[in-house]
Amino acid sequence: MHTTKDLQKKVSEIFDNKNYITEPRDLYEPIQYSLSQGGKRLRPLLALMACSVFKGDLNKVENPAIGLEIFHNFTLLHDDIMDQAPIRRGVPSVYKKWDTNTAILSGDTMFVLAYDYVTNSDPSFLVEVLRVFNQTAREVCEGQQYDMNYETQEVVGVDDYVEMIRLKTAVLIAAALKIGAITAHASAEDAQNMYDFGINIGLAFQLRDDLLDAFGKQEVFGKPIGNDIVTNKKTYLYIMAYELANKEQHTALDHAYSLNDRAEKVAGVMEIYHQLNIREATEKKIDEYYQKSLSYLDNVSVAHEQKSELYSFAKGLSLREV
Amino acid sequence: MHTTKDLQKKVSEIFDNKNYITEPRDLYEPIQYSLSQGGKRLRPLLALMACSVFKGDLNKVENPAIGLEIFHNFTLLHDDIMDQAPIRRGVPSVYKKWDTNTAILSGDTMFVLAYDYVTNSDPSFLVEVLRVFNQTAREVCEGQQYDMNYETQEVVGVDDYVEMIRLKTAVLIAAALKIGAITAHASAEDAQNMYDFGINIGLAFQLRDDLLDAFGKQEVFGKPIGNDIVTNKKTYLYIMAYELANKEQHTALDHAYSLNDRAEKVAGVMEIYHQLNIREATEKKIDEYYQKSLSYLDNVSVAHEQKSELYSFAKGLSLREV
């Protein structure tokens, strides 16, 4: 069995020193820039891990895994334009370093590259992989649309929020696991269990991200704490707070969110989060998704030790240090 | 054999009344809007014609043909943002009617939809079709990049211009023909001949478009005459004029292009075009590409009458009325 560390090393080997540059350079340099920033490379890693669970041939999962990572980075290029996000992985985002047109067109080209890698899958599972990939790509677009809609929509229900993060984040994590399983010729049932495991891990992962923004330690989280509060982002915490607040707390929340001073604003919102036990409510929800994810992994019909790395990894993703 | 008219009717049947709307509506309404404006639907028609040349099953070319048309419309959505083009097919372009974010994201979703249709090709030729589709999509992006580069580049050579329109326009026309041939299980050589036929027809078609902008009749061309001149667009005519101009004519061209009054500007540039016989030079080049296209069509190894509709159609595209 391959350890997570082995597979992480393999993912690094696949991506490090990869050169995408060709003519016209104006088109490919932003692609090289985007793909060489690294990041967690979570999706290709999960694809390799899933393939390994079923003792598949890692060479066969490589191309779809690369396709998943390039697709993910393509969505970041376009999302950063739409969200006007100037920084990505600690460096200027592509639309900021170049311009919007460059980010649009280099993004489109990355999308083609992603399909190019997926197309170079073994013909024995190509169609199956493509179907998962297409459906997922479409859902990720839909998730981004809901996310943009919710920015201007006054009230967002908690179920709507969860559906949005399912589409925007969880389905691609789930697809990576399912595609990894498919490349190892897992049964349809096992591939689906891997997918559902991924959906729940993805939801836990995103809620944990929401939680860390408010309750994390900056040196662990890697981003300034309270950013979601400062930008009035409708996170799980925000939505729960408004759902649970009484009239007085509602007014206090509205007031805090209207403040311009960063520190005062964060302190004001956090005060209400504490009063309403938002941290505990979110941790409870994360644990629910985490437990649910495990039930799907339990159902995957291979020996437990084949899945042990995935169990540990899931725990790490869901229960990252606050 | 199917007549062009029959196939045009079939293309209309495929696209008319097609409903792409689903949730979230904000994402799919611009897609519906874009795909229901019609346009020439040249690419799916050519795919059907090519399939028919080899007596293929028209039902089998349908999905790739739809994919080609949706892909083409996706590029228009994004190009219109990049080129700041407010009007498309006589109505506001998507980024203008909605906004840039909508045009980016609905465009991305159309790209996925295009791949979804292509994926639903017969498995016997799926990989071959996908390879043509991927390469073409990438080249179209590259063509758009060159086109944008040339906007700010002072001198553009005629060969560079032709390479740009090959990438931006001709390869998708060629791909439609090649994919049509592939779905009919044509030989690799015949598929390639269809492709090369398409490249040359595509080049002739684009040069004719450049010519019509200056020398066409508005009621036939469907767009205001002289638009390329007014927007300082580096067309084949523009590039040839600068290549052929003596010092005096060069100065006159520079002067004309610097004018603000639309009528004076068009008249000034046209005067030099007339002096330099730009119309004749362009018509000569179009005829060269047209003749070259025919030589490839001649080489396609089916009975001449099987190709007769394609011969007529090529003539119509290349030699549209000025």
pLDDT digits (tens, 9 = 90+) for A88-123: 998 999 999 999 999 999 999 999 999 999 999 999
User: According to the model, what pLDDT value does residue A289 have?
Assistant: 97
Tokens, residue A258: 């209207």
Token readout for B213 is 């902008």
From residue A253, give the alpha-carbon distance in Å to each of A150, A209, A213, A229, A276: 18, 21, 17, 11, 11
Intra-chain end-to-end CA distance of chain B, in Å:
31
| Predicted pLDDT at B3 | 96
Number of helices (H) and strands (E), helices first, in chain B? 17, 2
pLDDT in tens, B235-249: 999 999 999 999 999
Q: pLDDT tens digits, residue range A70-80?
A: 999 999 999 99
CA geometry: angle at A278 spanning A251 and A84, to 5°?
75
The percentage of residues in chain B with a pLDDT greater than 90, rounded to a whole number, is 92
Q: Do B127 and A119 touch (CB under 8 A)?
A: yes
- Pick the closest to residue A114 from A46, A64, A163 (CA basis): A64
Confidence of residue B217 (pLDDT cuts 50, 70, 90): confident
Whole-number pLDDT of residue A21: 96
> What pLDDT, on a 0 to 100 scale, did the predictor assign at position B219?
73
Mean pLDDT value across residues B203-231: 87
Chain A residue closest to B148 (CA)? A101
Of B293, B277, B78, residue with least CA distance to B201: B293
For residue B105, give the nearest of A100, A105, A144 by CB distance.
A144
Using 50, 70 and 90 to split pLDDT, how confident is the model at B322?
low
Of A147, A8, A104, which Cα lies nearest the Cα of A65?
A8
- Three-state DSSP at B142 gives helix
- pTM, rounded to two decimals: 0.95
> A111 vs B116: CB contact, 8 Å cut-off?
no
What are the beta bridge partners of residue B92?
Answer: B87
The Cα-based distances of B161 to A65, A68, B260 in angstroms read: 37, 35, 26
- According to DSSP, residue B87 is labeled E
What mean pLDDT is predicted for residues B167-181?
98
Interface test with A, best of B20, B25, B27 (most A CBs within 10 A): B27
**Shortest CB distance from A109 goes to which of B108, B109, B138?**
B138
Q: Whole-angstrom Cα distance, residue A194 to residue A204?
A: 15
DSSP state letters, B70-82:
HHHHHHHHHHHHH
Tens of pLDDT, residue by residue over B40-53, are: 899 999 999 999 99
Contact call for A130 and B115, based on CB within 8 A = yes
Residue of B nearest to A127 (CA): B119
Per-residue confidence (pLDDT) for residue A218, from 0 to 100: 75
Instruction: Tell me how far apart the alpha carbons of residues B320 and B209 are, in angstroms, rounded to a whole number.
Output: 9
Give mean pLDDT, residues A246-269.
96
Looking at residue B17, what is its pLDDT? 84
Average pLDDT over residues B95-106: 98
Are B78 and A26 inside 8 Å of each other by CB? no
- Is-contact B68 B47, C-beta < 8 A? yes
Taking residues A302-312, report their average pLDDT. Answer: 97
Cα–Cα distances (Å) from B69 to A135, A257, B36, B72, B121, in that order, read 20, 47, 11, 5, 15
The reply to whether residue A148 touches residue B81, judged by beta carbons under 8 angstroms, is no
How far from chain centre, in Å, is Cα B41?
Answer: 10
HSE of B236, CA atoms in CB hemisphere, 13 A: 28
Contact B207, B289 (CB under 8 A): yes
CB contact under 8 A, A26 and B149: yes
Q: Tell me the nearest-neighbour CA distance from B174 into chain A, angstroms.
A: 18
Chain A residues interacting with chain B (CB cutoff of 8 angstroms) = 23-24, 26-27, 78, 81-82, 100-101, 104-105, 108-109, 111-113, 115-116, 119, 123, 126-127, 130-131, 134, 137-138, 141-142, 144-146, 148-149
Distance CA B322, CA B207 (A): 12
From CA A276, how far away is CA A258, in angstroms rounded?
19
pLDDT tens readout for residues A207-257: 999 999 999 887 776 677 899 999 999 999 999 999 999 999 999 999 999
pLDDT band, very low/low/confident/very high, at B318 (cuts 50, 70, 90): confident
Cβ distance A78 to B23 less than 8 Å, yes or no, reads no
Which tokens belong to B318?
């290349």
A272/chain B closest Cα distance in angstroms = 33
Q: Which residues pair with A92 in a beta bridge?
A: A87
pLDDT for position A322: 64
Task: For residue B90, count CB atoms less than 10 angstroms from its CB and return exposed for 0-12, middle for 13-18, buried for 19 or more.
Answer: exposed
- Residue in B115, B126, B144 closest to A105 by CB: B144
Tens digit of each residue's pLDDT (9 = 90 or more) over B257-316? 999 999 999 999 999 999 999 999 999 999 999 999 999 999 999 999 999 999 999 999
pLDDT tier, B116 (very low <50, low <70, confident <90, very high otherwise): very high
Nearest by CB to A142, which of B24, B100, B126? Answer: B24
**Cβ-nearest to B145 among A26, A81, A123:** A26
* The pLDDT of residue B209 is above 70: yes
**Alpha-carbon distance B49 to B46, whole Å?**
5
pLDDT digits (tens, 9 = 90+) for B6-47: 999 999 999 998 999 999 999 999 999 999 988 889 999 999
User: B224: cis peptide before it, omega within 30°?
Assistant: no
Q: Which residues of A touch B101 (CB under 8 A)?
A: 81-82, 148
Model confidence at A258: pLDDT above 90 = yes
Look-up of token digits 């980010």:
A103
| Mean pLDDT score across all residues of chain B | 95
- The residues on B that touch A, with CB distances below 8 Å, are 23-24, 26-27, 78, 81-82, 100-101, 104-105, 108-109, 111-113, 115-116, 119, 123, 126-127, 130-131, 134, 137-138, 141-142, 144-146, 148-149
B-chain residues within 8 Å CB-CB of A101? 81-82, 148
Q: Is the pLDDT of residue B252 over 90?
A: yes
Classify A66 as helix, strand or coil. Answer: helix
Name the closest residue on chain B to residue A121, using Cα atoms. B127
> Which residue has 């393999």 as its token pair?
A10
